[in-house]
Structure 1
Amino acid sequence: MAKIRMSDVAAAAGVSTATVSMVLNGGSNSRISAETQRRVREAAEAIGYAPNSVARSLRTRKTHMVGLVSDSIATTPFAGRMLAGANDVARDHGYLVVLVDTEDDPALERQAVQALTGQQVDALIYARMWHRVVPAPAGLPARTVFLDCCPQDGSWPAVVPDEREGGLAAVRELLAAGHRRIAYVDADETEDVIASRLRHEGYLQALGEAGITPDPALHVRGETVASGGRAAADALLDLPADRRPTAVFCFNDRMAMGAYTAAHRRGLDVPGDLSIVGYDDQQLVAAELDPPLTTVALPHYEMGRWAMEVALDLRAADAAAPVLMPCPIIRRGSVGPPPHPVAD
């Protein structure tokens, strides 16, 4: 079979060989329209042209590879949208993502960073499955971006969810429905989760805006699983009738699922007797509850895109402060008006 050449791609795309070279070999192509670049790439794929990656990397000093080191996002559908966002940007710009999940093993993490930098990846994204502050691994390349985590020394650009604003949005949703006695089912203190503190701050801010004095009895904690949410909701529903909440904001969707169970076991209707809002918009949980759960979405896909855009120098970023990605409210069927007027 004859070798497919760059001139064959040019003929298939209806452009010059020089244009094909600039599009496929990583040269300066800012003057080439997006439509022409798309046509060249589609023609190359259609006829099976594969550029010589070794020659290209020697010429451009780029491998067109980006390393992504994480604890476990690839094996977790919930957080896998970060990988999807990063991969979409990389693919659109001719880059390959090389992923290593370390399962939070420090030795494997060091080995992964060393291996990827040894392969001369053009950039590296360091990702965690949930929002936290982390020590920066040794040996990171100059172009590194932190995804869903912040470096302790603040020396690298980072993107994390805007947890406080998400908590604020959740409670405002319940206030807008007419609720005044709103509980927060929080993560257990032993879990030391940054998001717990920030979402609680959003909860308190929303109550303050509404002129409501927080009731400590309406802030309860539990394990961040369905059983923890059920136990916390049971404690709230055991309160005297005049102190019982008419709405519950839960730290995550799994705890909200447990709150549903606690309500249904008592013959309470959601949202007729108790409105519930979750957090995360977790796949196969929020939309599958009955009724579907109103929740706050973690912007995993958007954070993944942002991190890759910074890694590829498509977007400027300041390492001095992490970017806070908005967490939108996802309205479904679990919020309604309170069942009866409730005194503050």
Structure 2
Amino acid sequence: MTTKVNIKDVAKAAGVSVTTVSHALSETHRSRVNAETVAHVQSVADGLGYAPNRLASGLRNQRSQILGLVSDEIVTTPFAGAMLQGAQDAASELGYLLMVVNSGLDNELERREIRALKQHQVDGIIYARMYNHSVSIPEELRGSPIILLDATCDDPSVSSVVPDEVGAGVAGAELLIAAGHRRIGMINNHDDIPAAHGRLEGFLAALSRHGLSCHPDHYVATSPSTEDARNGALKVLSLPERPTALFCFRDQMAMGAYQAAAHLGLSVPKDVSIVGVDNLDIVADGLWPGLSTIALPHYEMGRWAVRKLLEEVENSQAPRLQERISCPPVIRASVAHPGH
């Protein structure tokens, strides 16, 4: 039977004290040891197959080294992978494990899941939503360090992180304006959500900054489905003086605009340029020509949520922040100069 390697074995093999090994392998105390010694101790520990006893460590510093992430539906969405990967990467880098639960929009299940996370004595909880909207903090979360991921609330004592929706609208409009378009329409989501309001605000602000405006007939708000967006785009692109470009609330709605253009005998981007939001690969890369889009920062939001949560775990007086992360454009082939 293989004998489990302990910290004394590592210290002996490395030729240093047990205290030095403890500090070198600790995220919290590593700075007390010079970088060369840290690297040497880590190399020896890896070679011996040493795994720190996190439970014992947690008992000493009153930390479990585990974080919880409670989601509604994000594990079932195409964006979940990036958001969870960002959170997982940040947690791992900081020496933490991430425990993920998913309620499927079942409030009672969510309450049970939160209670279960607390029973595991997680050091803090990330409350994540499928899309950016305002939420009420479940009572079960009160009293625990929490961060809202892709959501906001009315409580300024709770930190949150969401995409810069206004910035996404600005970026979409600027991409089309830079290509020379002056008659630019928008296919928006008709839901009363921050993304719809923010992207419209940014879109109109960018137009105004360039002395442009969106003609009322060139603006349509529909459900966020491909079919309804297609019908909206058909209406706009059938006008005698149609827009030469469309900014769409999301990539799946942009796909509807592609379909409308094809039905009307219009070519993308020769006759109409189209920009979406999401950078949903299966759509943006799958369309032909490829869809230029504004990427939502799911990975970056996941990382930010973990790092901010741990900051507040370590320092309960840390400032609470309502972070908005920028949304960069991803250029493909759906945008060209009008009449190109």
Give TM-score, length-normalised by structure 2: 0.91
Q: What is the Cα deviation at residue 115 of structure 1? A: 1.7
Q: Secondary structure of 1:104's partner?
A: coil
Q: What is the Cα deviation at residue 253 of structure 1? A: 0.3
Q: What is the Cα deviation at residue 47 of structure 1? A: 3.4
Consecutive unaligned residues in structure 1, runs of 5 or more = none
Q: What is the Cα deviation at residue 36 of structure 1? A: 5.5
Could you tell me how far apart the structure 1 residues matched to 2:194 and 2:177 are? 25
Q: Which residue identity is paired with 2:30?
A: N
Q: Secondary structure of 1:56's partner?
A: helix
Match for residue 296 of structure 1 among 288, 294, 315? 294
Match for residue 263 of structure 1 among 235, 256, 261? 261
Partner of 2:72: 71
Cα pair distance change 1:247/1:8, threshold 3 Å:
same
Q: What is the Cα deviation at residue 166 of structure 1? A: 0.9
Taking the TM superposition and a 5 Å limit, the aligned residue runs for 1:191-340 are 191-240=191-240, 242=241, 244-313=242-311, 318-319=319-320, 322-339=322-339
Q: Between 16-25 and 302-311, report the one with greater CA deviation.
A: 16-25
| Contact 2:131 2:150 (C-alpha < 8 Å) held by counterparts | yes
Q: Secondary structure of 1:332's partner?
A: coil
Partner of 1:172: 174
Partner of 1:52: 53
Q: What is the Cα deviation at residue 82 of structure 1? A: 1.3
Cα pair distance change 1:172/1:34, threshold 3 Å:
farther
Cα pair distance change 1:92/1:32, threshold 3 Å:
farther
Q: What is the Cα deviation at residue 11 of structure 1? A: 5.6
Q: What is the Cα deviation at residue 292 of structure 1? A: 1.0
Could you tell me how far apart the structure 2 residues matched to 1:42 and 1:264 are? 60
Q: What is the Cα deviation at residue 42 of structure 1? A: 5.8
Q: Secondary structure of 1:2's partner?
A: coil
Q: What is the Cα deviation at residue 35 of structure 1? A: 6.8
Cα pair distance change 1:210/1:65, threshold 3 Å:
same
Could you tell me how far apart the structure 2 residues matched to 1:35 and 1:253 are? 49
Q: Deviations over 1:82-134 (max 9, x none)?
A: 11111101111210001111112111111122221222211111111110010
Match for residue 163 of structure 1 among 162, 165, 181? 165
Consecutive unaligned residues in structure 2, runs of 5 or more = none
Q: Secondary structure of 2:271's partner?
A: coil
Give TM-score, length-normalised by structure 1: 0.90
Q: Which residue identity is paired with 1:110?
A: R
Q: Which residue identity is paired with 2:165?
A: E
Could you tell me how far apart the structure 1 residues matched to 2:119 and 2:248 are? 44
Q: Number of aligned residue pairs: give it.
A: 335
Q: What is the Cα deviation at residue 29 of structure 1? A: 2.3
Q: What is the Cα deviation at residue 71 of structure 1? A: 0.8
Identity among equivalent positions (%) equals 46
Taking the TM superposition and a 5 Å limit, the aligned residue runs for 1:24-43 are 24=25, 28-32=29-33, 37=38, 40-41=41-42, 43=44
Could you tell me how far apart the structure 1 residues matched to 2:35 and 2:70 are? 30
Partner of 1:22: 23
Q: Between 38-47 and 223-232, report the one with greater CA deviation.
A: 38-47
Could you tell me how far apart the structure 2 residues matched to 1:35 and 1:235 are? 67
Could you tell me how far apart the structure 1 residues matched to 2:156 and 2:80 are? 24
| Contact 1:21 1:27 (C-alpha < 8 Å) held by counterparts | no
RMSD: 2.2
| Contact 1:78 1:283 (C-alpha < 8 Å) held by counterparts | no
